[in-house]
Amino acid sequence: MKKYCFYLLLVLALTATNMAAQEVGAPWIVPPVMNIDDKFDISPKENDSRFIGTRGRFQGVFDKTGKAILPVEKQEIMLVPCGWIVVSRQNDQRLLYNAQATCMSLPYDQFNAYNNGTALVYKNGLCGLINMQGEELVPVQYEKYTRDQDTYVFSGATGERRMPIPPDFVSPNVKRVEDAKAKAKTRTPLAGHYLIKGNGQFTTGLLNLKRDTVVPPIYRFEEVHPSGMITATFDGKTFGVIDAQHHTLYSFTAAKVGKWTKSGLLPVKFEKKWALIRFPAGDIIFSFGEYDYIETYDPEKDLFIVSKNKLLGLINLKRKFILPCAYTYISQYDHVTTQISDTLHKSGFCYRPTGFILKPQFKYIRNLNDTLVIVSSDSLTGVMNAKTGKYVIPMAEYQIECIGQYFDSHKPQDWRARTTLERHIHGLYDRRGRLVIPHDTADIVMVPKEQTFWICYQREDSSRVWEQRDLQGKTIRTIPKKGADLKKLGYLPTTYRYGNGVETAMKITYTDAQGNEQLYSFISTSMRENLRMVQLGNLWGFVDSDGQVVIQPVMDKVESSKDGYIKAKYQGKWGVLQNPKFDYFEEIEKGIGEK
């Protein structure tokens, strides 16, 4: 009975070990069975069913189960995607293996392997062609070999033998990437159509879903309206408008065209005069010469920048001026707050939803993607509510930067004073204008999730402790300056946001079996493919950007994620894990789509 229990426990232990190998938070692409410590790479790029393992100058071929296809020996290996394995050994010996690791080259003197499953072989000065099963598709009895476009040509005293060249093998992974590139090339905002390229450098046309040419590739498209109207040019000098049925909506005589609005309005310049025209009817909304210049400002709301006497204004279709023609600059429409500048190079702002306009009076205006804008004169800076024009943070001799939901207020100090590494003194305001962190000789580290701040003093302040404060400024705890390090408390500061002494940090810890919060012994500062490496005692794992465990810290060794795969040593054996936070092909397709 005792013997039976011993074997039962052994089986359970082995089963538990195997289960643990499979339940680490990510699937094993190659199970932990590899003994090769030096190098092996596996990637989904081209051939992810086989990979080369290296030990010093020795190489072998393995499949995804970790089984050796070719043993690790003193050799150099090249994997051909179709399945061929080309091996170079000492004394210039070259061998050719098929996908099943059967040597196909031993009867021959030389060979050239192709990625279509064939290989050119030579014997006693004669040549022929074999496939991956070793069959001679062309007998080895010809003296000369050439390629004629898509045909193998063998010739000699016995005559000529011609054979169509099989297509190259394209792995599913490569095809997926190529398909994504093809989609990117035919991408168009016009539903139900594909872009096609002509023979010219910039010529473009349209295909419908049946692949019929509906617009010949003789144009250079400028902008395509979702309804099917297209601004285009033949020569880059004059412009016109066509539709997806290849009807000309405006003759190719315009010197310039602007950007479409959603409703089909388009600024057009002809004979040095601008007009606003509604398509497809071609109705003139603002007549030629009514304004010196017309530019689409907000394509959703039909707002336009117009010019009179070299000054800009903002107008709607009813000719109501939102901003009079009195400015030299009006910032882009997608800013929350619109900056305006006058002929004296002073700046103000307009908050369009309320119609509030602050006349130009400042040297600089920043943080336009917000209702709270930073305004500066020659020596003073403050924060103003764009809705009302009232100060949230009064003007003072400080520089101000927006940091998330806070404003960092800082100014340089005399070099003799105790200051930060950048020799700035810092304070921090919230959006109500409350001074959360008083101006002090400190670097500020924000911890958004905890809604706390760390006040971290530099070497010049060696006598002072570091303080953790809450949003009300109350000190929660301190760290003695001697040996102070936030990482020892599990905090991971980011790089400087603006180089002015304000950082953000997150806390990365784990909960032990008793439910207590514990610290990792190491946290990598950089992330690779959405994962951060952590060490727990002598074991390694990975966490995501929020510090949540993705791959359990049970690995003897790990390497950074590459192409969505992670090399990991588990219980003395190497394997490959798939990164569940990174999709190689998704990233490739996203990258293609952004180009």
Of 233-237, 408-412, 497-501, 573-577, the poorest mean pLDDT is in: 497-501
Q: At 175, is the secondary structure helix, strand, or coil?
A: helix
Q: At 61, is the secondary structure helix, strand, or coil?
A: strand
pLDDT of 233 strictly over 80: yes
Average pLDDT estimate for 377-406: 93
Model confidence at 186, in pLDDT bands (50, 70, 90)? Answer: low
46: nearest Cα among 168, 167, 153: 168
Give the C-alpha distances (Å, rounded to integers) separating 589 from 171, 180, 237, 360, 585: 17, 6, 35, 46, 6
The Cα–Cα gap between 307 and 92 comes to 77
Q: How much is the CA Rg of the chain, to the nearest whole Å?
A: 35
pLDDT of 534 strictly over 60: yes
Contacts 24+ apart (CB under 8 A), 519-526: 519/488, 519/489, 519/490, 520/490, 520/553, 523/487, 523/490, 523/492, 525/492
Model confidence at 462, in pLDDT bands (50, 70, 90)? Answer: low
Average pLDDT estimate for 79-93: 90
The Cα–Cα gap between 436 and 123 comes to 85
Of 121-125, 150-154, 439-443, 469-473, the poorest mean pLDDT is in: 439-443
Q: Specify the DSSP class assigned to residue 488.
A: G
The Cα–Cα gap between 188 and 195 comes to 6
Model confidence at 5, in pLDDT bands (50, 70, 90)? Answer: very low
Q: Are strands 347-351 and 256-257 parallel, antiparallel or unpaired?
A: unpaired
Average pLDDT estimate for 158-176: 88
Model confidence at 184, in pLDDT bands (50, 70, 90)? Answer: low
Helix axes 172-185, 584-594, angle to 10 degrees: 20
Q: Identify the burial level of 399 via C-beta atoms within 10 angstroms of its C-beta, where 0-12 means exposed, 13-18 middle and 19 or more buried.
A: middle
- Mean of pLDDT over the chain: 87
The Cα–Cα gap between 442 and 426 comes to 6
pLDDT of 434 strictly over 80: yes
Taking the mean position of all CA atoms in its chain, how far away is CA 572? Answer: 35
Cα dihedral 560→566→572→573 (10° resolution): -140
Taking the mean position of all CA atoms in its chain, how far away is CA 52? Answer: 29
C-alpha triplet 74, 80, 84: angle, nearest 5°:
75
Tell me what percent of the residues of the chain surpass a pLDDT of 90.
58
Q: For residue range 301-329, what is the model confidence (pLDDT) as tens digits? A: 999 999 999 999 999 999 999 999 999 99
The Cα–Cα gap between 366 and 174 comes to 46
Comparing 261 with 333, which gets the higher pLDDT? 261
State the DSSP string of 513-581.
TTS-EEE-SEE-SS-BTTBEEEEETTEEEEE-TTS-EEEEEEESEE---BTTEEEEEETTEEEEEE-TT
State the DSSP string of 71-124.
EEEE-EEEE-TTS-EEEE-GGG-EEEE-TT--B--TT-SEEEE-TTSEEEEEET
Of 50-64, 190-204, 526-540, the poorest mean pLDDT is in: 190-204
The Cα–Cα gap between 346 and 326 comes to 12
Q: At 42, is the secondary structure helix, strand, or coil?
A: coil
Contacts 24+ apart (CB under 8 A), 419-423: 419/458, 419/460, 420/458, 420/460, 420/501, 421/458, 421/459, 421/501, 422/499, 422/500, 422/501
pLDDT at residue number 21: 56
Cα dihedral 70→74→75→77 (10° resolution): 50
Cβ atoms of 90 and 104 closer than 8 Å: no
The Cα–Cα gap between 261 and 298 comes to 8
pLDDT of 40 strictly over 80: yes
Q: For residue range 417-432, what is the model confidence (pLDDT) as tens digits? A: 444 445 678 889 999 9
Cβ neighbour number for residue 179 with a 10 Å cutoff: 11
Average pLDDT estimate for 405-411: 88
Average pLDDT estimate for 169-184: 75
Cβ atoms of 121 and 128 closer than 8 Å: yes
Tell me what percent of the residues of the chain surpass a pLDDT of 70.
89
The Cα–Cα gap between 489 and 483 comes to 12
Comparing 453 with 425, which gets the higher pLDDT? 453
Residue 332: φ, ψ to 5°: -65, 155
Comparing 562 with 443, which gets the higher pLDDT? 562
Average pLDDT estimate for 430-453: 88
Place of tokens 């784990």: 510
Model confidence at 7, in pLDDT bands (50, 70, 90)? Answer: very low
Model confidence at 181, in pLDDT bands (50, 70, 90)? Answer: low
Cβ atoms of 409 and 425 closer than 8 Å: no
Q: Specify the DSSP class assigned to residue 279.
A: T
Q: Where are the domains of the chain?
A: 23-45+47-71+524-595, 82-169, 190-380, 402-507
pLDDT of 3 strictly over 50: no
Tabulate helix, strand, coil % of the chain (nearest 5): 10, 50, 40
Cβ neighbour number for residue 381 with a 10 Å cutoff: 24
- Specify whether the backbone of 466 is left (phi greater than 0), alpha (psi in -120 to 50) or beta: beta
Of 47-51, 404-408, 427-431, the poorest mean pLDDT is in: 47-51
Q: For residue range 552-581, what is the model confidence (pLDDT) as tens digits? A: 999 999 999 998 999 999 999 999 999 999
Cβ atoms of 70 and 86 closer than 8 Å: no
Model confidence at 386, in pLDDT bands (50, 70, 90)? Answer: very high
Q: Specify the DSSP class assigned to residue 167.
A: P
pLDDT of 23 strictly over 70: yes
Average pLDDT estimate for 7-36: 63
